[in-house]
């Protein structure tokens, strides 16, 4: 059967343009915003309210009168802390970047956990705090992952936004000044192959880390073990964004001789960051719950970022306070192990079982989950269905096939009937 998907494709591309490519303006409903920021102790450990910004990206929030304009639900804006609102006022475009960051974090989390018993499903929330459900009330590895990936995505998104010029208060980084110039024949020999200068436009990860940290860590004072866990995992997320940056260069010189190169630092694709964070989740560091972490005032957390990553030089009073907040060393659960490192995700409570329904932690169980009866991997039915077994159905589905690309910009496909087996946990 021949079938042209041209029309459908055009529609899809248009929708994509509107949603993804046009600068997204977030319009805030000013005034009459409830200022009661929920910062009371009883809410600590129940998640971060700003996650609710993900709601800004929902298609049903696009205002029909101004295409491309997203109205942010004022109840979400109302959940932001005073400092977060100040940051957004001072940095036009920041909130859009944060909102894009949370949405990215959610889709990456669901990608990484698509075949796991816990699949990072999102609640139909009204307030951001419960976006990931009650599982964040436990200091378990899933919670560690959620904090790390949301923090990483926000830093990534802010740094990218600087380069794209959508945050008014930052630019891309010109990076370091060039190394010394070639002056005579002697140095020329050794230096031809490797010589480069910083130039072009580096992604401003320094700004992404600094402002991301201020925004994301605002609610965490670092007093309780749970707050320390959150701070550590937030910082680990940012660390991976920074350490996975790579240098890109362009050659100069006569006829491609590449005697001189111009280089800049570029953020890696966020999928790479989420892959690495998932590896860390698979081997998380168990920290001691009984003893609160000792402080380590001489080794502020922020120092571990390579030189040039943070924009500050002389610490202000506020930064001293900040260093105090981050200056701690968590203790390993098993004293024979090394203390957790900067890149590790840390947790102190075991995960709840995700097999059965458990309303206490908002767990739906794995009933009805799709699995693969012939896979030896993580989507293996016997693992995903927790040994309850599965049912196998043969279905015929229509799929696009034999797609051809026509310049420019249509895709034409045939529709093919494909027989598929669908396995579902009982």
Ligand X SMILES: *[C@@H]1O[C@H](CO)[C@@H](O)[C@H](O)[C@H]1NC(C)=O
- From CA 377, how far away is CA 160, in angstroms rounded? 35
Backbone angles phi, psi at 228, to 5 degrees: -65, -40
Query: Which is nearer to ligand X, 210 or 369 (by Cβ)?
Result: 369
CB neighbours of 420 closer than 8 A, spacing ≥ 6? 394, 395, 396, 397
Q: How far is the CB of 114 from ligand X (least distance, A)?
A: 6
Binding interface with ligand X (CB under 6 A): 110, 119, 121, 124, 364, 366, 368-369, 372, 374-376, 380, 382-383
Q: How far is the CB of 420 from ligand X (least distance, A)?
A: 7
- From CA 331, how far away is CA 62, in angstroms rounded? 47
Tokens standing for residue 351 = 């995960």
Alpha helices in 305-390 (DSSP H): 317-326, 381-384
Q: How far is the CB of 393 from ligand X (least distance, A)?
A: 12
The count of residues in the chain is 426
What DSSP character marks residue 60? G
User: Minimal CA–CA distance to 52: which of 125, 153, 154, 144?
Assistant: 125
Q: How far is the CB of 376 from ligand X (least distance, A)?
A: 4
CA angle (168, 170, 175) in 5-degree steps: 155
Contact 280/347 with Cβ under 8 angstroms?
A: no
Query: Which is nearer to ligand X, 124 or 335 (by Cβ)?
Result: 124
Query: Which is nearer to ligand X, 118 or 207 (by Cβ)?
Result: 118
- From CA 8, how far away is CA 14, in angstroms rounded? 10
Q: How far is the CB of 210 from ligand X (least distance, A)?
A: 32
Query: Which is nearer to ligand X, 249 or 383 (by Cβ)?
Result: 383
Query: Which is nearer to ligand X, 71 or 380 (by Cβ)?
Result: 380
Q: How far is the CB of 24 from ligand X (least distance, A)?
A: 20
Query: Which is nearer to ligand X, 27 or 421 (by Cβ)?
Result: 421
């Amino acid at each position: 059967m021949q079938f042209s998907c041209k029309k459908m494709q055009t529609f899809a591309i248009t929708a994509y343009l509107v949603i993804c490519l046009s600068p997204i303006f977030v319009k805030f409903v000013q005034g009459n915003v409830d200022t009661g920021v929920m910062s009371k102790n009883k809410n600590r450990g129940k998640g971060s309210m700003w996650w609710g910004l993900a709601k800004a990206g929902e298609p049903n929030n696009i205002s029909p009168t101004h295409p491309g304009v997203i109205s942010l639900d004022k109840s979400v804006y109302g959940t932001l802390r005073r400092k977060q609102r100040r940051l957004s006022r001072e940095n036009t475009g920041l909130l859009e970047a944060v909102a894009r960051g949370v949405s990215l974090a959610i889709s990456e989390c669901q990608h990484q956990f698509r075949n796991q018993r816990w699949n990072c499903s999102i609640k139909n929330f009204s307030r951001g705090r419960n976006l990931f459900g009650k599982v964040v009330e436990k200091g378990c590895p899933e919670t560690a992952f959620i904090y790390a990936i949301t923090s990483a995505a926000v830093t990534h998104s802010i740094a990218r936004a600087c380069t794209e010029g959508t945050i008014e208060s930052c630019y891309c980084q010109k990076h370091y000044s060039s190394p010394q110039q070639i002056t005579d024949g002697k140095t020329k020999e050794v230096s031809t192959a490797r010589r480069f200068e910083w130039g072009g436009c580096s992604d401003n990860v320094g700004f992404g880390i600094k402002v991301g940290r201020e925004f994301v860590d605002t609610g965490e004072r670092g007093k309780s073990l749970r707050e320390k866990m959150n701070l550590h995992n937030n910082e680990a997320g940012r660390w991976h964004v920074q350490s996975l940056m790579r240098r890109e260069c362009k050659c100069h010189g006569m006829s491609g001789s590449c005697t001189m190169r111009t280089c800049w630092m570029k953020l890696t694709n966020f999928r790479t960051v989420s892959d690495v964070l998932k590896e860390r989740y698979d081997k998380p560091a168990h920290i001691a719950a009984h003893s609160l972490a000792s402080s380590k005032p001489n080794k502020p957390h922020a120092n571990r970022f390579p030189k040039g990553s943070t924009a500050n030089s002389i610490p202000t009073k506020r930064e001293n306070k900040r260093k105090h907040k981050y200056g701690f060393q968590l203790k390993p659960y098993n004293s024979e192990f090394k203390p957790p490192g900067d890149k590790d995700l840390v947790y102190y409570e075991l995960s709840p079982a995700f097999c059965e329904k458990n309303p206490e932690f908002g767990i739906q169980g794995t009933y009805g989950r799709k699995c693969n009866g012939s896979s030896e991997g993580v989507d293996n039915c016997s693992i995903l269905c927790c040994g309850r077994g599965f049912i196998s159905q043969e279905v015929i589905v229509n799929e696009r096939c034999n797609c051809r690309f026509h310049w420019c910009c249509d895709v034409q496909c045939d529709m093919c009937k494909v027989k598929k087996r669908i396995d579902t946990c009982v």
